[in-house]
Amino acid sequence: MHKPVTHLPNRRTFLEYGLKYGAVAAASSIFGRFESAAAQQSSPQRTVVIMFDGFGPDYLAQSSMPVLGQWKRDGLYKAVTGLMPSVTNVNNASICCGVWPEVHGITGNSYFDEKRGVEDYMESASLLLAPTLFERAAKKGVKSALLSSKAKTVTFLLRGAEIVLTAEEPTPEWVQKLGPAPSIYSSEINHWLLRAAIDILRNRPDIGCLYVHTTDYPMHMWPAEAPQSKEHLARLDALFGEAMNVAPDAAFLVTADHGMNAKTRCYDLEKVCARRGLSLRKAFSAGRDRYVKHNRGCSGAAYVYLKKSQDAEKVREILAELKGCERVLTRAAAAQEYKLMASRIGDLVVWGDADTLFGEMDMEETSFSAGELRSHGSEHERNIPLLIYNAKNAPSSDYFQHNLDLARWLYRS
């Protein structure tokens, strides 16, 4: 076996050596091949990172997706764990930045701004405290593109990206190329987004890193066995294959932010406590965002803010008695166990079981359903797939334990 070239001789030395033996042309040709090989090794591989929103392992198992099947068979496949709360912004930031929430600071789709005393969406770039994948790539001379079905993604992850596109609000240029984008409340918007990614792969070879974030609206609407779900995923899979054919040199990295479960009950924790004689400063779903049609703003995780610190134990007792309220943690305990930024979570942190949600309701403190409301946020939506295909310098399987590991190794010194 030949040893790898670890040092290239000086061009003049190499040519003088060839001249001595009457082989200048041959020496020059050999040296040129060495230089070309070295350049290829030093240039980062073109990479497509797919953050497949809501793509739990059941969707992969129950759908006909031959391209992902090929990536799974011929590349690296592993079941990994997402982060808590199992909502999009927390996990999207972790995947894009390659760090835990205690570092990047995104702790939910919404947060409580204690200085202003208001709940707000957690989708401003000023709230993201860690460098993005795009900023790391730029330091290596690699141009990036951020593409998302959801507008909220591009407002807080955009730093360092050369191209920023949301299918929810496409520019006239992209509409002219691909036609009007479908509604954000559709499965077809994901197909439009993949067509945009394929266009960049085909026409912008200078873009070395693409980050593609789909929407989980189809997963909120349909379980994995539903025909509508299978149709949506089969079309996406065909588009993944088209992207692979357009860019055979590219690495494809895929993971999800969370899975999805049908839910049967929901609690409004402010009303629960108020009707038991304790008034809270604020309680809200960590999964609340602008896309209310997905899950009515309800998720399996909630942050509770107290009016008085001495109320903590009583509130914990009240919540712990609720059926489906799986864990109630103090701020310090939740921050330590789940690596969350303590200053951006509630005085108490609440996780539901696989059937339970938390959110705001108009009148009642508790509502029940027959499982037609599908959502996430709890520990029970953390199991997700991770696939890496055609990546030349990817770490071994042992490296990948969480979804944040997917691209953490890219563009590092």
Q: Is residue 411 part of a domain?
A: no
Q: What is the CATH number of the domain that holds 369?
A: 3.30.1360.110
pLDDT, position 33:
44
The average pLDDT across 105-124 equals 92
pLDDT, position 18:
37
Confidence category of residue 293, pLDDT binned at 50, 70, 90: confident
The candidate with the shortest Cα–Cα distance to 347, out of 383, 375, 319, 366, is 319
Q: Which of 100-104, 294-298, 391-395 has the lowest mean pLDDT?
A: 294-298
Sequence-distant (≥ 6) Cβ neighbours of residue 402 within 8 angstroms: 80, 81, 82, 83, 94
CA distance 258 to 85: 9
Phi and psi (nearest 5°) for 194? -65, -35
- Shared domain for 302 and 165, answered yes or no, is no
Q: Kindly report the CA angle at 234 between 403 and 355, in degrees rounded to 5?
A: 55
CB 222 within 8 A of CB 228: yes
Q: Which of 49-58, 133-142, 369-378 has the lowest mean pLDDT?
A: 369-378
6 pLDDT higher than 80 = no
- Shared domain for 344 and 215, answered yes or no, is no
CB 265 within 8 A of CB 364: no
Tokens describing residue 249 = 């040199």
- Shared domain for 286 and 255, answered yes or no, is no
- Shared domain for 63 and 175, answered yes or no, is yes
Q: Is residue 4 part of a domain?
A: no
DSSP classification of residue 26? H
CA distance 155 to 149: 12
How many CB atoms sit inside 10 A of residue 339's CB? Answer: 16
Which residues, listed in sequence order, are joined to residue 282 by a DSSP beta bridge?
305
- Shared domain for 299 and 348, answered yes or no, is yes
Tallying the residues shown for the chain, one arrives at 413
How many CB atoms sit inside 10 A of residue 80's CB? Answer: 18
Alpha helix (H) residue ranges in 160-291: 172-178, 188-203, 217-221, 227-246, 269-274
The average pLDDT across 223-241 equals 97
Between residues 5 and 182, the one the model is more confident about:
182
CA distance 387 to 385: 7
pLDDT, position 249:
97
pLDDT, position 363:
63
Mean pLDDT of the chain: 90
pLDDT, position 30:
40
pLDDT, position 410:
97
Confidence category of residue 27, pLDDT binned at 50, 70, 90: very low
pLDDT, position 292:
73
Confidence category of residue 413, pLDDT binned at 50, 70, 90: confident
pLDDT, position 243:
98
CA-CA distances (angstroms) from residue 239 to 73, 162, 178, 212, 246?
Answer: 18, 23, 14, 13, 10
- Shared domain for 400 and 278, answered yes or no, is no
Q: Is residue 180 part of a domain?
A: yes
Instruction: Count each helix (H run) and each strand (E run) in the chain, helices first.
Output: 16, 16
Q: Are strands 163-166 and 207-213 parallel, antiparallel or unpaired?
A: unpaired
Q: Is residue 346 part of a domain?
A: yes
- Shared domain for 62 and 98, answered yes or no, is yes
Q: Tens of pLDDT along 189-212? A: 999 999 999 999 999 999 999 999
CA distance 147 to 411: 19
Total count of domains within the chain: 3
Q: What is the CATH number of the domain that holds 165?
A: 3.40.720.10
> pLDDT over 90 for what percent of the chain?
82
Between residues 61 and 42, the one the model is more confident about:
61
| DSSP notation for 360-409 | --SS-SEEEEEEEEEE--SGGG-EEEEEEES-TTPPPGGG-SBGGGTTTT
- Shared domain for 285 and 153, answered yes or no, is no
The average pLDDT across 14-41 equals 39
The average pLDDT across 102-129 equals 94
pLDDT, position 371:
67
126 pLDDT higher than 60 = yes
Q: Is residue 240 part of a domain?
A: yes
> pLDDT over 70 for what percent of the chain?
89
CB 303 within 8 A of CB 112: yes
pLDDT, position 14:
31
pLDDT, position 187:
97
Sequence-distant (≥ 6) Cβ neighbours of residue 355 within 8 angstroms: 261, 263, 264, 265, 324
Which residues, listed in sequence order, are joined to residue 398 by a DSSP beta bridge?
none
Tokens describing residue 95 = 């995947």
- Shared domain for 54 and 33, answered yes or no, is no
The candidate with the shortest Cα–Cα distance to 51, out of 178, 146, 169, is 146
The candidate with the shortest Cα–Cα distance to 384, out of 92, 120, 123, 32, is 92
- Shared domain for 300 and 230, answered yes or no, is no
DSSP classification of residue 299? B
Q: Tens of pLDDT along 351-376? A: 999 999 999 887 677 777 766 789 99
Residue 23 domain boundaries = 11-42
20 pLDDT higher than 70 = no
103 pLDDT higher than 60 = yes
